[in-house]
Amino acid sequence: MIFAAGLGTRLQPLTLTRPKALVETGGKPLLAFALEQMKRFGIREVVVNVHHFAEQITDFLQTHPPKGLRVLVSDERECLLDTGGGLRKAAPLLKEAEHILLWNVDVIADIDFQAFAKCHRERGGLATLAVSRRDSSRQLLFTPEGRLGGWKNLRTGEEIRCSQTDALQPLAFSGIHLVRSELLNLLPDESVFSIIKAYLSLCRQYPVYAYEHPPQNWVDAGKIADLPRAAALMQKIQKKALP
C-alpha cells in the first residue's frame, strides 16, 4: 500500500494546486516512482489511498496505468485518516494478502527489499519497520534484540515506554514497513490515528521489529529543500535497475 493521501504542507506552494503524490522530482511524479519501486520488488497489486486533490491522482492512474501492476484506490476524500486509519479503511482491499508492504509516497529509498522481506519472515513479528541512524526529532526506541520498546520526541521530551529494558536504542523510522495481515484485525476501532500509535499499543503483546538500513540510501522528498537529493537518489536507483 502506498500512502498518498497527505496534504503535503511541507511542499507548499507546490501542493496548493496538486497532491503531494504528483509533485515531480527527477523528471517524474513521486507516485510514478513509488509504483516503479513496487514492480521492482516483485509486487503485482498495490492500493493507493487518496484525499488531497484526489481526482488528480485517480486521473493520473487512469491515463498512466503502470504495466504489470493492478492498482486499487482507497478513497479518503470525506476525511483524511492518517496512516493507521488509512490502513484500516483499506483493509477490505488487502484482505487476501499474507504480508503487506506499506510505503509513504514521499519516501525515496534504495532498500534491499529481499533482505528486508527475509528479515520480516524469519523473525515472524507482527511488523518490521525500516529504520536508520539519522537525525530526527522523533525516534523509535528498540531493545538490543531489535524489538520495538518505545518512542521519544526529542524536541518536546515526550516519551512512551513499552519495555522495561533500560538500554533502548533510538532509531529514525523511514516510512517503510512490512506487516502481517493479522495486523488488520488488531487495529483500534477508531477513524483517525497514526500507525505508529497502533504499533506502540500492540508491541507489548505482538513483536514489532527493526530492520536497519544505511541512512545515505534514504531521502524524505516531502520537503522542497530535499527534492534535489531525492532526484539524485532516484536516478541512482533507476541506473541500478537497468539491464
Q: Is 114 helix (H, G, I), strand (E, B) or coil?
A: helix
User: pLDDT, tens digit, for every residue of 183-230?
Assistant: 999 999 999 999 999 999 999 999 999 999 999 999 999 999 999 999
Residue 164 confidence (pLDDT): 82
Extract the C-alpha cell encoding 219.
531521502
State how far the Cα of 227 lies from the Cα of 175, in Å rounded to an integer: 17
Can you give the pLDDT at residue 240?
Answer: 83
Q: What is the pTM of this model?
A: 0.95
Q: What pLDDT digit, counting tens, does each position of 151-191 carry? A: 999 999 999 999 888 789 999 999 999 999 999 999 999 99
**Does residue 210 contact residue 116 with C-beta atoms inside 8 Å?**
no
CATH number for the domain whose boundaries are 2-241: 3.90.550.10
- The cell for 25 is 522530482
- Which pLDDT band holds residue 96 (cuts at 50, 70, 90)? confident
Whether 243 shows a pLDDT value over 70: the answer reads no
**What rounded mean pLDDT belongs to the chain?**
95
The domain segmentation of the chain, as residue ranges, is 2-241
CB neighbours of residue 122 within 10 Å: 10
Instruction: Give the pLDDT of residue 211.
Output: 98
Give the closest residue to 109 by CA, choosing from 18, 23, 38.
38
How many residues would you count in the chain? Answer: 243
pLDDT tens digits for range 7-39: 999 999 999 999 999 999 999 999 999 999 999
User: What does the alpha-carbon distance between residue 191 and residue 85 come to, in Å, rounded to a whole number?
Assistant: 5
